[in-house]
């Protein structure tokens, strides 16, 4: 059976804890570049790649609760990744968990589960 899973990676970058409201931060989890933002006290993680033309979102800014891409100024909801007014595809967002030893980012993947084993 095909099942959806999440692979959790601990963030090594401690600057995430000090991220100020409305600011963007580029960091990595494994090989993935991520754009972190704190809005209304809540931390969000987006792929640091705009779905429009692949430019880094972390070079942008926050405006009225949206993350704004600096290249063509498309707006994305940091919680859902949804593009405002459907102007392009949605940004990729990742679940976050605060654990005793730091922040963890979840990377969804699909696998084949057979005989109690995930095969990829």
Residue ranges that bind ligand FES, judged by CB under 6 A: 50, 52-53, 55, 69, 71-72, 74
Considering the complex, what minimum distance in angstroms separates the CB of residue 27 from ligand FES?
19
Q: 89 or 112: whose CB is closer to ligand FES?
A: 89
Q: 71 or 107: whose CB is closer to ligand FES?
A: 71
Q: 42 or 72: whose CB is closer to ligand FES?
A: 72
User: CB under 8 Å to 57, separation ≥6 — which residues?
Assistant: 24, 35, 46, 47, 48, 49, 50, 67, 69, 76, 91
Compute the distance between CA of residue 73 and CA of residue 116 in angstroms, rounded to an integer.
47
Considering the complex, what minimum distance in angstroms separates the CB of residue 33 from ligand FES?
14
Considering the complex, what minimum distance in angstroms separates the CB of residue 73 from ligand FES?
6
Lay out the sheet containing 75-76: strands in order across.
Answer: 61-63, 66-68, 75-76
């Amino acid at each position: 059976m095909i099942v959806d899973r999440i692979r959790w990676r601990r963030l090594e970058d401690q600057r995430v804890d000090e991220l100020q409201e409305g600011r963007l931060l580029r960091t990595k989890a494994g090989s993935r570049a991520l754009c972190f933002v704190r809005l209304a006290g809540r931390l969000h993680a987006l792929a640091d790649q705009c779905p429009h033309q692949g430019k880094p979102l972390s070079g942008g800014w926050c405006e009225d609760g949206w993350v704004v891409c600096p290249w063509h100024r498309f707006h994305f909801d940091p919680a859902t990744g949804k593009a405002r007014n459907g102007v392009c595809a949605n940004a990729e967002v990742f679940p976050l968990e605060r654990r005793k030893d730091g922040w963890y980012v979840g990377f969804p993947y699909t696998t084949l589960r057979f005989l109690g084993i995930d095969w990829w």
